[in-house]
Amino acid sequence: MGRVTDTGNSPAPSPSGAPDHIQHPRAIRSFVRRAGRTTIGQAKAFEQWGPRFLLPYSATPLDLAQAFGREAPTILEIGFGMGEATAHIAGLMPEKNFLCCEVHEPGVGALLKRIGEHELANIRIVQHDAVEVLDHMLAPDCLAGVHVFFPDPWHKLRHNKRRLIQPPLVAKLAAHLQRGGYIHCATDWEPYAQQMLEVLSAEPALQNTTQGFAARPDYRPLTKFENRGLKLGHGVWDVVFRKS
Ligand SMILES: C[S@@+](CC[C@H](N)C(=O)[O-])C[C@H]1O[C@@H](n2cnc3c(N)ncnc32)[C@H](O)[C@@H]1O
């Protein structure tokens, strides 16, 4: 195993004798906090819509019915970026709740702005690491679906370990899904698409809804970014697995 810290300081040993940094290595994160300017429009959206649609991260279980003001099937979205697909899908499916996690502040502002513009009542945003949200805020069997669209591909081999779709996270997602619930991932990076297929196929609680890759489900819009890639001849791969 590689070094966990670079500080050169030796942490005090824990009662078991092992240094704490060995027992509790810093979790590998799937994101880096990108710099990015929040626009005036996004800042206004934070002010206007934040109090109603942002849920604070807290290491305590979230009451979904209370958070959304109703009981409805809940879809978790991990890493919504600027929220283009999120707002589109939430508009198509007013009968579902969308719990959406993103760490990038301008993205959160952009989705709040879309919520205001399209009067979307069925989205709640947690501006925090989705892995911690899963671990601490969500109960087992509480989700009807999970969307992970174009997660950071972490192209370089030495960064592959930062990818979201890996066995431990997929096991966690499966445990949070209700029976009949689904995981839908999409990527434009073929090696990651193969990894998604392999990792999801290896999770015993999940079954592929089709042979191999899925056709893009109608609800997932072609975003500007994806359209541009397709025009350049790049591929896009969807995978949809279900918990039986
Ligand atoms: C490449 S972008 C794709 C955004 C969007 N889904 C789309 O299709 O355009 C990936 C996003 O995932 C976010 N992200 C990565 N890991 C995350 C995590 N653990 N929790 C929440 N957001 C995360 C990043 O901040 C980034 O905005």
| Confidence band for 25, pLDDT divided at 50, 70 and 90 | low
Among 102, 127, 137, 149, residue to substitute to test ligand 1 (most atoms within 8 Å of Cβ)? 102
Q: Is the CB of 130 under 6 A from ligand 1?
A: yes
81 Cα to the center of ligand 1, angstroms: 5
11 Cα to the center of ligand 1, angstroms: 33
* pLDDT tens sequence across 153-164: 999 999 999 999
pLDDT of residue 185: 98
What is the number of the ligand 1 atom nearest to the C-alpha of 151? Answer: 10
Give me the CATH topology for the region 35-243.
Rossmann fold (3.40.50)
Known catalytic residues are 152
Classify residue 214 by its DSSP letter.
B
Q: Is the CB of 169 under 6 A from ligand 1?
A: no
Domain boundaries, the chain: 35-243
pLDDT of residue 178: 98
Closest Cα to atom 27, ligand 1: which residue?
81
Work out the mean pLDDT of the chain and round it to a whole number: 90
C-alpha span between 213 and 47 (Å, rounded): 41
CA distances from 44 to 35, 109, 120, 208, 210 (A): 19, 8, 17, 42, 44
* pLDDT tens sequence across 173-228: 999 999 999 999 999 999 999 999 999 999 999 999 999 999 999 999 998 888 88
